């Protein structure tokens, strides 16, 4: 019986912000499908944990440490990945987060607003800016960006700066898809709802988790693996004519 071909065999992938959570799940899933993966983060020990786990499972991975909001460091990161693995075919611009709590717009400090924009929208822009030229030269590549259901279905409790930055990522994705499509590059935006990462499991009380579950037509919260499986599909040739869209990975809770 012939072994099933792995969908990302021979590809080189970088997943920013992949030392934990959704990014780590994507890195592991890509490696399981045959990609050589660069694991990235700012915590060297966490990066190494994901990298070694991939290799112990039979995959190929390197670990990289860089500040995704610093273009010089992103450029150095690209050079490191290209030196060790080769040109990047699959870029997952996943690095981001919500560094400030929800609150009224007028109470957001300008520096807090800037921090939210930088770690989400700017980090995505810098990754695309660094890796897109090489993809255009080679005439191939897939870029996956990471928005959020919070930017698709804003509520009174949504962190304003975070949702604005994530909405910007969705629009950036459309622009990249439009500009880079003629060169053979696809760009797709993933927008997860509440995902039960280790951090969320610790920080969200069980009663709040249950209330959130009840708001989903598919009545469970998402897992990092739910997002990773979607990322594998959109990175693969099976999605070869899909570009420029935002995909809600949200258990049916975002109906627009």
In a domain, 132, yes or no: yes
Domain extent, residue 22, equals 12-248
For residue 44, is it within any domain? Answer: yes
Element (H, E) at 79: helix 71-84
Task: Identify the CATH number of the domain in which residue 80 sits.
Answer: 3.40.50.720
Q: How far apart are CA 210 and CA 207, in angstroms?
A: 5
Contact between 152 and 191 under an 8 Å Cβ cutoff? The reply is yes
Q: Is residue 41 part of a domain?
A: yes
Q: How many CB atoms lie within 10 A of CB 214?
A: 8
**Within a domain: 186:** yes
In the chain, how many domains are there?
Answer: 1
Q: What is the mean pLDDT of residues 120-127?
A: 98
pLDDT digits (tens, 9 = 90+) for 210-231: 877 877 888 888 899 999 999 9
- Residue 3: its pLDDT value, please? 56
In a domain, 169, yes or no: yes
What tens digit of pLDDT does each residue of 162-184 get?
Answer: 999 999 999 999 999 999 999 99
Q: What percent of the chain has pLDDT over 90?
A: 76
Q: What is the mean pLDDT of the chain?
A: 93
The answer to whether residues 177 and 169 touch, using CB atoms and an 8 Å cutoff, is no
| Residue 6, in any domain of the structure | no
- According to DSSP, residue 247 is labeled E
**Is residue 22 within 8 Å of residue 228, measured between CB atoms?**
yes
CB 92 within 8 A of CB 13: yes
Catalytic residue among 59, 162, 190, 247: 162
pTM of the model: 0.94
What is the pLDDT, as a whole number, of residue 1? 44
Could you tell me if residue 48 is left (phi over 0), alpha (psi between -120 and 50 degrees) or otherwise beta?
alpha
Helices (H), 139-239: 149-152, 160-180, 198-203, 206-214, 224-235
Collect all residues with Cβ–Cβ distance below 8 Å to 157 and sequence separation of at least 6.
102
Residue 187, domain member (yes or no): yes
For residue 147, tell me if it sits in a domain. yes
- Tokens in use for 213? 């579950």
pLDDT at 95 over 50: yes
pLDDT tens, residue by residue, 31-52 = 999 999 999 999 999 999 999 9
Is 162 an active-site residue? yes
Strand-pair partners of 248: 191
Cβ-based burial of 68 (10 A; exposed 0-12, middle 13-18, buried ≥19): buried
- Model confidence at 202, in pLDDT bands (50, 70, 90)? confident
Report phi then psi at 92, rounded to 5.
-110, 105
Strand partners, 39: 15, 63
Total residues found in the chain within this entry = 256
């Amino acid at each position: 019986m012939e072994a099933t071909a792995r969908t990302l065999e021979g590809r080189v992938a970088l997943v920013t912000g992949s030392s934990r959570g959704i990014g780590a799940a994507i890195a592991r899933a890509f490696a399981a499908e045959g990609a050589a993966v660069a694991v990235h983060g700012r915590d060297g020990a966490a990066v190494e944990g994901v990298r070694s786990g991939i290799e112990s499972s039979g995959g190929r991975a390197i670990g990289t440490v860089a500040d995704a909001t610093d273009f010089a460091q992103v450029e150095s990161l690209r050079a490191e990945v290209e030196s060790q693995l080769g040109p990047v075919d699959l870029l997952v611009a996943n690095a981001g987060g919500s560094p400030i709590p929800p609150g009224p717009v007028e109470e957001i400090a300008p520096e807090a607003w800037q921090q939210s924009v930088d770690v989400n929208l700017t980090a995505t822009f810098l990754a695309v800016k660094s890796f897109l030229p090489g993809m255009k030269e080679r005439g191939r590549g897939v870029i996956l960006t990471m928005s959020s259901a919070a930017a698709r279905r804003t509520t009174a409790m949504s962190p304003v700066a975070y949702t604005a930055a994530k909405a910007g990522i969705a629009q950036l994705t459309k622009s990249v898809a439009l500009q880079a499509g003629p060169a053979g590059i696809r760009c797709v935006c993933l927008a997860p709802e509440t995902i039960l990462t280790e951090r969320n499991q610790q920080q969200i009380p069980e009663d709040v988790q249950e209330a959130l579950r009840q708001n989903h037509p598919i009545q469970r919260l998402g897992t990092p693996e739910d997002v990773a499986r979607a990322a594998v599909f959109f990175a693969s040739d099976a999605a070869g004519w899909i570009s420029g869209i935002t995909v809600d990975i949200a258990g049916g809770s975002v109906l627009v």
